[in-house]
Amino acid sequence: MMTDNAITAATAHFERTPVAPGCVRILVQLGEQWHWTEMPVGDIWPAMVAFEKAQIRSMKLRRYSDIGCAKASVLMLAAADRGDSHEVCVASLWMLLRRREEQVSGHKTKFVLADLMSACGGAWMITVADEIAEPMSMDFYVVHPDWRPGHPDLDVDLTPRIAKPTIYDLSRQGRAYH
């Protein structure tokens, strides 16, 4: 989890440190929190498989399904609460590459990633979501390795997202609705 000072430090790091050749830099923004890691592209699939296998039976992830993405978002939020940025990023990768839309599109994201790795030698994989990691709030981006947060060269919206209040939030404010 990153505070404003940590986000500023991360942004400065990203400005002066390019994505390493053959690597993918993963950035996950949950509300105002940033989590990031960098890994060789060849480690993405083993990390996702290990992530799947590490789950208990009730949280077993079903690939290419809405329920699988919902469970992965719960796991992502739990990892964010623990401050485990690597697991937040792996959960994000799982959702990006194992969501139903990816299968329907013929695995377009994998081809974009492969093209970027071939042409540029690296890539960014970015997930932007609200602070509760609601799957419907998520936008995913795969961009060239020269992209930097705050640079307007691509349409990557890093505006912090805030979840809409639910009936449970309202009842905590002193209004009982049931």
pLDDT tens column, 88-116: 999 999 999 999 999 999 999 999 999 99
- Band of pLDDT at residue 153, cut at 50, 70 and 90: low
178 in a structural domain: no
pLDDT in tens, 2-20: 567 778 888 899 999 999 9
Burial of residue 30, with CB atoms counted within 10 A of its CB: 0-12 exposed, 13-18 middle, 19 or more buried: buried
pLDDT of residue 45: 96
27 in a structural domain: yes
Count up the domains in the chain and report the number: 1
Residue 126 belongs to what H/E stretch? strand 122-129
Domain extent for 106? 4-172
Burial of residue 21, with CB atoms counted within 10 A of its CB: 0-12 exposed, 13-18 middle, 19 or more buried: exposed
Distance CA(138)–CA(96), nearest Å, equals 10
Task: Estimate to the nearest angstrom the gap between the alpha carbon of 26 and the chain centroid.
Answer: 7
30 in a structural domain: yes
177 in a structural domain: no
Residue 129 belongs to what H/E stretch? strand 122-129
pTM to 2 decimal places: 0.87
